[in-house]
Amino acid sequence: LCGDLKMQVPFPFSLLCLQVIKCKAAVLWEANKLFSIEEVQVAPPKEHEVRIKIVATGICRSDDHVVTGTLVMPFPIILGHEAAGVVESVGQGVTSIKPGDKVIPLFVPQCGECKNCLNTKGNLCSKTDLGTSAGLMPDGTTRFTCKGKAVYHFLGTSTFTEYTVVHESAVAKIDSAAPLEKVCLIGCGFSTGYGAALQTAKVEPGSTCAVFGLGGVGLPVVMGCKAAGASRIIAVDINKDKFAKAKELGATDCINPKDFSKPIHEVLMEMTGQGVDYSFEVIGRTDTMTAALACCHYNYGVSVIVGVPPAAQNITFDPMLLFTGRSWKGSIFGGWKSKDAVPKLVADYMKKKFVLDPLITHTLPWTKINEGFDLLRTGK
């Protein structure tokens, strides 16, 4: 390690350290194929970049959207965006992070300079790769090579690899005592769901809520609604096996749309009188997005889209749903300003203000990533 050397050198000390790293990564060569465990070359971090040894990573439905082609990205690519690790090296000009720091990569960066970062209402930094499908670092190049071919990044993070490189604006330093295999969920799923309730919707004490989808993001929405003091939290999912955990985390009612002959929004209207105060779509389907909008109170209800919308699909709905006063909102990363919020969320976890263990269903060696995606797709 560089820090062990005790000699003077006539050139920048970091040049002794920053070498190409050969490691294993799960490469997706094309859509609708299995991940392939390959040896990749990870280039040194450039100016204002950080190279991270990934310790733990979660699997998110957004990753699977790339596999199935629902989210269009260039290939070959290294996916993954929900992780935690340890800084291996830093590029020139990096001041907020140093080697050895425990960190969480941020798929929504926080540059602190763009209009969104400077506005208290926004959190979607203009430096994000989300929506651009570029698959490259901010300078327009990649840090990954495999079999002589350039490999694309995913959302500026790419965590399905032993080492990755991210921009300094896309990484947050966290408590050195934090268990990385737990807090990696704060990199996406937990923060996205929890913040959708607390930050985006701003759920109020005594309110009624409906949550469509009880996966790794939907359950944190339930947790956020409970933390906000909601009096009734109705969990909606076609997989009844998820109901027990939803109730454990705060759901007061659990319903399966398959158990009813009428549209689910009508069922929720009947259950609540004139509809719920807040509804959340955490699946990524256009039909459930409109159902979530329709089930909230006709005048002051707020519906939040949390699930990633499918590419090349449009929504057709009755505009009267909005004309009468409902609000329809979207939520990226729970509305949190990432570099500011992630360390605080980790600190709250360490203070036992919320739990993460119930959100972890399986722990696998990452070489079994294809089995992990099978578990995701089968609702397990």
User: Active-site residue numbers?
Assistant: 60, 62, 65, 81, 188
C-beta of residue 143 within 8 angstroms of C-beta of residue 165: yes
- DSSP line for 79-120: ----EEEEEEEE-TT--S--TT-EEEE-SS---SSSHHHHST
- Give CA–CA dist 148/62, Å, rounded: 28
Q: Report the chain's terminal Cα–Cα distance, integer Å.
A: 42
Residue with tokens 């399905």: 160
Q: Strand pairing partners for 210?
A: 234, 279
What dihedral do alpha carbons 303, 226, 358, 284 form, nearest 10°? 0
Which strands sit side by side in the sheet containing 302-305, from one edge to the other?
Answer: 253-255, 232-236, 208-212, 278-281, 302-305, 327-330
- Beta-strand (E) ranges in 115-227? 144-146, 149-151, 163-167, 171-173, 208-212
